[in-house]
């Protein structure tokens, strides 16, 4: 048994227990652990482990006993509903050797929820106020089930609904403040995320001068095809300064490849750059089928730069709306440098926008030939200075070819807008 240590030296292990058959039969993937883990990490706490068990009272009880013996705080999700499958309160009562009783405060919470919505409370909803005797109920701002809090030996147990939105709201509202009171967190972990395009992961890795980075700055990679994500992380009071230094170094070696950072998306950044540069845009997409337009318009404010898009799938559409000359289609085909150029020029003439971008290619799985295999894509950007055209050979299936082409198009726009703004 450990001697009682003071302040931050006391162990403070946190565990998560997620309950529900649907988590163990392939129906649903557990997202609650990730949500809790991210918030804890942000506030300087660490999660020791996470356990998923089915809707069986004995399993939940055994898990509660096990975890409360190995952690100082346990966050339990699920099993607080009004149906027969909802057994968490009973398991909690058994695990802590208490009776179940109708908790008046919890009952009032349930009643108030229905009253506020002018809805009838079902008798089964009363069950949601049946809690272990010493439980302290926790308000649920988004659902009928109150959560509750229990102390058992050296462990604080928090019981939350399994519904992710309800769980998250109550975690932030009730559990996090309670944890902060129980055990002031160590200095929070800080992080910065960079989303790179144009280099494969091993190349990005090779370009990072690890020996020059400040001590204690952690570099992690992830993939979000075709973007390579680089995450810088640091703990402690001077985390900000150390991350600033690391960021400066990263920007020096990789800055031109950074399409977006943290929560930003590439399309969001491109939209902002086009607006700042005062550039209007029209799009003619063939193999990407509207994906670029859709990405740019998923952001509010697209109307400030996007005049129109065309999904010129059939040759007739290319001729009709973009004035692509028939001889070009006959001699070079729709998937050619010549066609891409003609599409962009015709689009710009038709719309009068500053920029007109065209994409034509073979996304697959059909349509490839030896000369022009699946993944052959041509892009053209008609702009105030002329027309830029380029051909690519992309790898992967239809989804990957479309996605790569769309992000490449965004990269063209990003780089053009940056250059244009400088001039």
Name the one residue in this structure whose structure tokens are 């550039």. Answer: 279
> Which 14-73 residues touch a copy of itself, going by CB under 8 A?
22-31, 33-42, 46-54, 59, 63, 66
Minimum distance between the CB of residue 308 and a copy of itself, rounded to whole angstroms? 3
C-alpha–C-alpha distance, residues 42 and 190, integer Å? 7
List the structure tokens of 213: 């980075």
Instruction: Give least dist CB 190 to a copy of itself, A.
Output: 13
Question: Is 266 or 364 the residue whose CB approaches a copy of itself more closely?
Answer: 364
- Which residues from 294-313 bind a copy of itself, rule CB under 8 A? 294, 296-298, 300-303, 306-313
Nearest approach, Cβ of residue 66 and a copy of itself (Å): 8
Give the separation between CA 293 and CA 296, rounded to whole angstroms. 5
272 binds a copy of itself per the rule CB under 8 A: no
Beta carbon of residue 328, minimum distance to a copy of itself (angstroms, whole number):
18
Binding a copy of itself (rule: CB under 8 A), the pick from 112, 182, 187, 222 is: 222
CA proximity to 178, closest of 147, 145, 132: 147
Q: Which two tokens stand for residue 201?
A: 């992961």
189, two tokens:
């972990």
Structure tokens at 90: 């009973």
The window from 82-90, 235-243, 383-391, 394-402 that contacts a copy of itself (CB under 8 A) reads 394-402
Q: Closer to a copy of itself at the Cβ: 33 or 383?
A: 33
Cβ distance to a copy of itself smaller for residue 174 or 334? 334
Establish how many alpha carbons lie within 13 A of residue 13's alpha carbon, considering only the half-sphere containing its beta carbon. Answer: 11
Distance (Å, whole) CA 282 – CA 310: 8
Of 417, 103, 69, 408, nearest to 275 by C-alpha is: 417
- Considering the rule CB under 8 A, would residue 405 count as an interface residue with a copy of itself? no
Of the candidate residues 173, 192, 321, 368, the single one contacting a copy of itself (CB under 8 A)? 321
- Based on the shown chain and the rule CB under 8 A, indicate whether residue 400 belongs to the binding site for a copy of itself: no
- Which of 157, 402, 407, 414 touches a copy of itself (CB under 8 A)? 402
Task: Write out the DSSP string of 322-376.
Answer: H---HHHHHHH-SSSHHHHHHHHHHHHHHH--SEEEEEEE--SSS---SSS-TTE
Restricting to residues 333-372, name those near a copy of itself by CB under 8 A: 350-351, 363-366
Question: Quick one: 105 or 261, whose CB is closer to a copy of itself?
Answer: 261
* Residue 29 burial (CB count, 10 A): 9
Q: Does 126 bind a copy of itself (CB under 8 A)?
A: no
The three-class DSSP label of residue 22 is: helix
DSSP state letters, 185-240: PPSPPEEEEEEE-SS-HHHHHHHS-GGGSPTT-EEEEEEETTEEEEEEEE-STTHH
Least gap, CB of 166 to a copy of itself (angstroms) = 14
| Span near a copy of itself by CB under 8 A; candidates 96-104, 127-135, 382-390, 398-406 | 398-406
User: Does 114 sit near a copy of itself (CB under 8 A)?
Assistant: no
- What is the sign, positive or negative, of the torsion defined by CA atoms of 49, 44, 252, 383? positive
Question: 306: which DSSP letter?
Answer: E
Q: How many Cβ atoms sit within 10 Å of the Cβ of residue 25?
A: 9
Q: How far is the CB of 265 from a copy of itself (least distance, A)?
A: 12
State the minimum distance, in angstroms, from the CB of residue 359 to a copy of itself.
12
We find the least distance from the C-beta atom of residue 329 to a copy of itself, in angstroms, to be 14
Burial classification of residue 305, based on how many CB atoms lie within 10 Å of its CB (0-12 exposed, 13-18 middle, 19 or more buried): buried
Q: How far is the CB of 364 from a copy of itself (least distance, A)?
A: 7
Q: Closer CB to a copy of itself, residue 66 or residue 100?
A: 66
């Amino acid at each position: 048994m450990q001697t009682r240590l003071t302040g931050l030296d006391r162990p403070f292990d946190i565990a998560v227990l997620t309950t529900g058959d649907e988590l163990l039969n392939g129906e649903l993937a557990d997202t609650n652990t990730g949500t809790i883990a991210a918030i804890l990490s942000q506030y300087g706490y660490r999660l020791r482990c996470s356990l998923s068990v089915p809707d069986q009272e004995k399993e939940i009880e055994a898990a509660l006993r096990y975890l409360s013996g190995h952690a100082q705080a346990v966050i339990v999700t699920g099993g607080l509903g009004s149906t027969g499958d909802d057994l968490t309160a009973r398991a909690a009562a058994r695990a802590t050797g208490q009776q179940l009783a109708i908790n008046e405060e919890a009952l009032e919470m349930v009643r108030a929820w229905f009253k506020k919505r002018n809805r009838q409370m079902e008798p089964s909803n009363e069950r949601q106020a049946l809690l272990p005797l010493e439980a302290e109920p926790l308000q649920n701002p988004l659902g009928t089930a109150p959560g509750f809090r229990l102390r058992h030996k050296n462990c604080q147990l928090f019981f939350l609904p399994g519904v992710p939105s309800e769980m998250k709201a109550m975690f932030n509202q009730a559990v996090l403040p309670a944890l902060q009171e129980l055990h002031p967190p160590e200095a929070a972990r800080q992080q910065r995320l960079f989303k790179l395009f144009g280099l494969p992961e091993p190349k990005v890795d090779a370009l990072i001068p690890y020996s020059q980075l400040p001590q204690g700055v952690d570099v992690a990679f992830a993939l979000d095809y075709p973007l390579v994500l680089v995450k810088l992380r640091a703990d402690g009071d001077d985390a900000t300064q150390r991350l600033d230094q690391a960021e400066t170094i990263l920007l020096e070696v990789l800055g031109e490849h950074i399409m977006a950072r943290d929560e930003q998306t590439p399309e969001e950044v491109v939209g902002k750059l086009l607006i700042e540069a005062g550039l209007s845009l029209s799009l003619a997409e063939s193999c990407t089928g509207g994906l670029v337009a859709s990405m740019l318009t998923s952001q509010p404010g697209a109307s400030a730069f996007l005049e129109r898009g065309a999904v010129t799938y059939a040759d007739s559409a290319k001729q009709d709306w973009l004035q692509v000359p028939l001889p070009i289609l006959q001699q070079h085909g729709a998937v050619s440098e010549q066609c891409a150029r003609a599409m962009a020029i015709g689009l710009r003439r038709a719309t009068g926008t500053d920029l007109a971008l065209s994409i034509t290619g073979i996304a697959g799985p059909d349509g490839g030939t030896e000369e022009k295999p699946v993944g052959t894509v041509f892009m053209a950007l008609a702009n105030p200075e002329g027309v830029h055209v380029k051909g690519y050979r992309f790898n992967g299936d239809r989804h990957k070819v479309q996605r790569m082409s769309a992000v490449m198009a965004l990269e063209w726009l990003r780089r053009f807008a940056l250059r244009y703004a400088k001039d």
